[in-house]
Amino acid sequence: MELDDLYQEIILTHHKRPKNEGRLDPFCGMAEGYNPVCGDKVTVYVNGSDGKIVEVKFIGDGCAISRASASIMTTILGNLTFDEALAKSDEFCKLLTGDEEPVVDLNEDGEVAALVGIRKFPGRIKCATLAWHAMEDALKDALK
Ligand code: ZN
């Protein structure tokens, strides 16, 4: 199986059977994101305690990339501090928009690696970063 096929498979699997999809009630922070280019909508909920993320969930209505990115994101944020999660988001957006072709590896970087190929399609990058920006806003909301 080609690596691109494997990555596509990971994206489609998360799209069809997303992790941590749903509402959190109660929640500490919540934010919505909308990508008008593609029509993707996402709502991200977070619960945290002592500056650490306890739980992240999302509701996503949009393309496979936007949903898969949200789902993969929720799987890597558990137990991170808010600052670490913000840094991860920054790192992820740089992987997609940085000038240099990033070197990513499924073993080392996890399923995030499957999303990095989207950098070749500039029109879809917003699909992939939507949930991450909403997560940043949800953390800011939680700190209010
Ligand atoms: Zn999209």
What DSSP string describes 37-67?
A: TTTEEEEEEEEEETTEEEEEEEEEES-HHHH
pLDDT in tens, 67-107: 999 999 999 998 899 999 999 999 999 999 999 889 888 88
Distance 81 CA to ligand 1 centre (A): 28
DSSP line for 94-130: HHHH-SSPP---HHHHGGGHHHHGGGG-GGGHHHHHH
Q: Which of 78, 80, 83, 66 is nearest to 132 (CA)?
A: 66
Question: Per residue in 113-132, pLDDT tens?
Answer: 999 999 999 999 999 999 99
| Spacing, Cα 44 to ligand 1 middle (Å) | 16
pTM: 0.95
What pLDDT shows up at residue 1? 61
- pLDDT digit string (tens) for 6-39? 999 999 999 999 999 999 999 999 999 999 999 9
Residue 16 burial class via C-beta count within 10 angstroms: exposed 0-12, middle 13-18, buried 19 and up: exposed
Over residues 33-65, the pLDDT tens digits come to 999 999 999 999 999 999 999 999 999 999 999
Tell me the CA–centroid distance for residue 49 and ligand 1, in Å.
32
CA of 15 relative to ligand 1 center, distance in Å: 12
Question: Given this model, what pLDDT does residue 109 score?
Answer: 87
Contacts of 50 (CB under 8 A, 6+ apart): none
Cα(79) to ligand 1 centroid in Å equals 28
Q: In terms of DSSP bridges, do strands 52-61 and 40-49 run parallel, antiparallel, or are they unpaired?
A: antiparallel
Element holding 79 (H helix, E strand)? none
Hey, what amino acid is at 99? D
Distance from residue 113's CA to the centre of ligand 1 (Å): 18
What is the distance in A from the centroid of ligand 1 to the CA of 71? 14
Q: How confident is the model at residue 108 (pLDDT cuts 50, 70, 90)?
A: confident
Q: How far is the CA of 114 from the centre of ligand 1 (A)?
A: 15
Separation CA 38–CA 33 (nearest Å): 12
Q: Which two tokens stand for residue 63?
A: 């393309």
Gap from CA of 75 to ligand 1 centroid (Å): 20
Ligand 1 center to 48 CA (angstroms) = 28
